[in-house]
Structure formats: structure tokens, C-alpha cells
Amino acid sequence: MSVLACARSGCESIMCSRLLLGAYICEDCWQELCEHKQSWPEVITRGYAEQAIVDFMNTRPGTFVSMDRDEAFAILTQK
């Protein structure tokens, strides 16, 4: 029996059955990605979606936080 480890950075799940960009992802990370997807623009390119998924997969489970753009701007531009 082979181990199908989640490809997300820091995820320890090993029995993953969903393929995402040629790598496995566990159900918990998949659900978190689906929540994050709600913050994407309504119309996107395939490249935008692929980069957003790659960026997501480089975060640790439970740490990817989507923000309103005004909230993010305010945080990044505080004095």
C-alpha cells in the first residue's frame, strides 16, 4: 500500500485521494482551499488560478488567511 501524502507545506496527512496540479491534497486542505477560492475575483485566467493554488500550497494548514483588500492595504501601510 502506498502513502499518498498531502503536498501542502507542513501538512502531515498521508492518505490523500484528491489530485491537485499533479500532487495529492488532503480533504482538510482541500476545504481550506475552497474557502480561500471565494476571495478570488469572479473572472480569472488559468494562470491566475494556478498561481493562487501554488501560493496556497506553500502555506501551512490553518495559516492561510484571506482578507478584504482594504483591510490588507491598511495593515500593510500603517505607520
Question: Is position 61 within any domain?
Answer: yes
Name the residue range of residue 64's domain.
18-76
Using the CB atoms, write b or e for 48-61: b if 16+ within 10 Å.
eeeebbeebbebeb
Residue 56 has a pLDDT of 94
Average pLDDT, rounded, for the chain: 89
Segment 9-25 shows an average pLDDT of 94
Residue 68 has a pLDDT of 77
Q: Total structural domains in the chain?
A: 1
Question: Is position 31 within any domain?
Answer: yes
Handedness of CA 37, 54, 3, 12 (dihedral sign): negative
Cell of 37: 477560492
What predicted TM-score, i.e. pTM, was given to this entire model? 0.76
Question: Is position 10 within any domain?
Answer: no
